[in-house]
Amino acid sequence: MSFVDIHPEEVTSTIVSDPDWWRGAVIYQIYPRSFQDSNGDGIGDLSGIVDRLPHVASLNVDAIWISPFFTSPMLDYGYDVSDYCDVDPMFGRIGDFDRLIERAHQLGIRVIIDLVLSHTSDLHPWFVESRVSRDNAKSDWYVWAEAKPDGTPPNNWLSIFGGSAWEWDTSRMQYYMHNFLREQPDLNFHNMDVQNALLDVARFWLERGVDGFRLDTVNFYVHDKELRDNPALADDRKNSDIAPSVNPYTWQDHQFSKSQPENIEFLKKLRKVMDEFNDITSVGEVGDDQKGIQIQGEYTQGSDRLHMCYGFDFLGAPYPSGHRIAEVLNKFDENAKDGWACWAYSNHDVERHTSRWNLSEDAQKAYLALILSIRGSACLYQGEELGLPEADVAFEDLQDPYGKKFWPKFKGRDGCRTPMVWNSNAENGGFSSAKPWLPVSDAHAARSADSQEGDSSSMLNFYRRMIAYRQAQEPLIKGTMQIVAQEEGFFAVIRETKSSRMFVASNLSDSQRAVSFPEGRWNVDSKAPFDVNQNGERVELPGWQVLFAHEGG
């Protein structure tokens, strides 16, 4: 049955209680502005997500992560929140979100929402009050500091979006800190009232039925109270996965502006709130080039912090050769022995991996199988299942302030945020009847969901088969992992539970290669999505094919 044929009365899936459901889960990220417009204003909305949930359900994923839909002036497209506890009118109303939760759960899909706790919009009532004077009730809710005697900012901290991380405010005659846009002032986590207010925000959405949180810039919450200068980086260390090379942000070792040890105490408080509810999860975004995996380990250690974290190890430019994959996984294992990772190739902040690594369709399929075969959970970004490349957005159509700042060396994030393409013959790809907020890419139209629906070899149908296969294999979901081979164009692991073992070998090249099984008796799984023929103890594995084998009969 195709996803276009699914009707509500035919849906029988429901959420089954499982506090450990997030381990090995496959999560589908939805960028709401670009998923589906239901009211003809050119901007995606919550009702549009509801309309397209059958498509998501057809992918066999466990959960969706929805990027911010809160009230916002939209200078950073929802990541500048002016009201944490309401829906921005462009996305609908709070009742639309309740309907989304109900429909998703009816389809067996859990709902994770994006919480942006490190900063707010400068239009948030908290900041509006804070900037009025130095002695009001919220005067210390943001990071304020005196100017140096010469009038310059209090230290050398930089904004990821360019320039100083400090903005002068004429009302208080002080600087306030902003790690991102100047309209996104950072909250002061050294103030316990701030922490308690944010915990109340989390509780508000948990009471509405969400199944967890994706925590934006989770290592940015706490700053160094002494406001010490960040040291410079040596030239050979100025490589960054979280900022473009043309941004001098990459020239600093951000020892004091983020990733402070006090952050862990707040995460413990947040976990305690989440534990008041059943089957909740959390995934933190860790942006730190120097010690990202170490921080992921610290934040997911034990059972009183975050459930899982992700960094930019597979979201950056370095090509994921077998050596690179092993390096990242081994480093995570060393730093987070009892932690849990959530791996991703693409999201709303980076160039789509299809273009970033120049992958053929066969290569895309092989890398999907790989990310679903390594230990951890996996996050897939909308349109990835269609094989969408990065869209080319002209400067005059650009919306992203980050791209406008560093154009043309860095074109920003709009190329991965263009609207989904649902129908090849419909206006704007079936996304909207009006002019979309970003143009629909001509290169995407041929890859629309409806054009791939009836093709058994399409990327869309491969994603469905591969995810369904992963969901049926307990070792791939929660098993231990042993890396048994790593080469430039080859990677192999053994995944194991108490009752079963699987051998997974990924040919990450165009050339055929002979693969020998580990010691024991192994049989290639004929139900796996790849057509691999076994010949005794060896397999001639074609280029960009992945072998799945079970030990035993």
**Residue intervals in the chain for CATH 3.20.20.80:** 3-116+208-221+281-471
User: Torsion angle, CA of 59/65/69/74, rounded to 10 degrees?
Assistant: -100
Torsion 212-59-353-443 (CA) sign: negative
Predicted pLDDT of residue 498? 95
Mean pLDDT value across residues 16-21: 96
With a CB cutoff of 8 Å and minimum separation 6, the contacts of 461 are 452, 453, 455
Average pLDDT, the chain: 95
What is the share, in percent, of the chain residues with pLDDT greater than 70? Answer: 97
Look up residue 298 and give its two tokens.
Answer: 């610290």
Higher pLDDT, 409 or 223: 223
Q: How many CA atoms lie within 13 A of 380 on its CB side?
A: 32
Q: What confidence category does residue 8 fall into, taking pLDDT thresholds of 50, 70 and 90? A: very low
Specify the CATH number for 3-116+208-221+281-471; select among 3.20.20.80, 3.30.450.40, 2.160.20.70, 1.10.287.70. 3.20.20.80
Q: What is the pLDDT of residue 553?
A: 58
Average pLDDT over residues 369-392: 98
Residues 6+ apart with CB under 8 A from 434: 37, 40, 41, 42, 428
pLDDT surpasses 80 at 11 = no
Read off the tokens for 482: 């042993």
Residue 12 has pLDDT above 50, yes or no: no
Q: pLDDT at position 25, please?
A: 98
> Which of 3-12, 57-66, 243-252, 458-467 shows the lowest mean pLDDT across its residues?
3-12
Residue range(s) occupied by CATH 2.60.40.1180 in the chain: 479-551
Query: What is the CATH number that goes with domain 479-551?
Result: 2.60.40.1180
**With 70 as the cut, is the pLDDT of residue 229 above it?**
yes
Residue range 302-342, pLDDT digits in tens: 999 999 999 999 999 999 999 999 999 999 999 988 899 99
Mean pLDDT of 276-296: 95
* Helix (DSSP H) and strand (DSSP E) numbers for the chain: 14, 21
- C-alpha 192/C-alpha 199 separation (Å) is 10
Q: Which residues are catalytic?
A: 216, 276
Query: Using one digit for the tens of pLDDT, what is the confidence trace for 166-220?
Result: 999 999 999 999 999 999 999 999 999 999 999 999 999 999 999 999 999 999 9
Handedness of CA 374, 53, 50, 30 (dihedral sign): positive
